Amino acid sequence: MAEAIKMRATMSGDIADIQVLMNHPMETGLRKNAKTGEKIPAHFINEVTATVNGVVVLQADWSSAIAKNPYLHFKVKGPKAGDKVNVSWKDNMGETNSADAVIS
């Protein structure tokens, strides 16, 4: 179900610039199925954690109001090219996904 997380991590000066694109419907629970009129149940990522070489650099709590297929961009000072970035998420239905990237 869960598709891969796309990630790009590049050094610019001494700052690692990390951009992440996740695949997720981010259903609010407010939308209705146009044909049946039934509410589409809420289904959204509610927790995101990013680490560099295993150390947490960013921990986020989200609501369903993050846009579908979430985009996240953040910057970390200190890492070097070759360091490993991991981003993982968990949604309100207990699904999880995780991806690694090497800073270039």
What is d(CA 104, CA 90) in angstroms, rounded to the nearest whole number? 27
What is d(CA 52, CA 103) in angstroms, rounded to the nearest whole number? 9
User: For residues 1 and 34, which CB has a smaller minimum distance to another protein in the complex?
Assistant: 34
List, as own/partner pairs, every contact residues 54-59 make where C-beta atoms lie below 8 angstroms and the sequence separation is at least 24, other chains included: 54/84, 54/86
What is d(CA 16, CA 13) in angstroms, rounded to the nearest whole number? 8
User: For residues 1 and 65, which CB has a smaller minimum distance to another protein in the complex?
Assistant: 65
Contacts to another protein by CB under 8 A? 15, 26, 28, 30-32, 34, 46-47, 52, 55-68, 70-79
CB of 57 to another protein, least distance (A): 5
User: For residues 28 and 99, which CB has a smaller minimum distance to another protein in the complex?
Assistant: 28
CB of 83 to another protein, least distance (A): 11
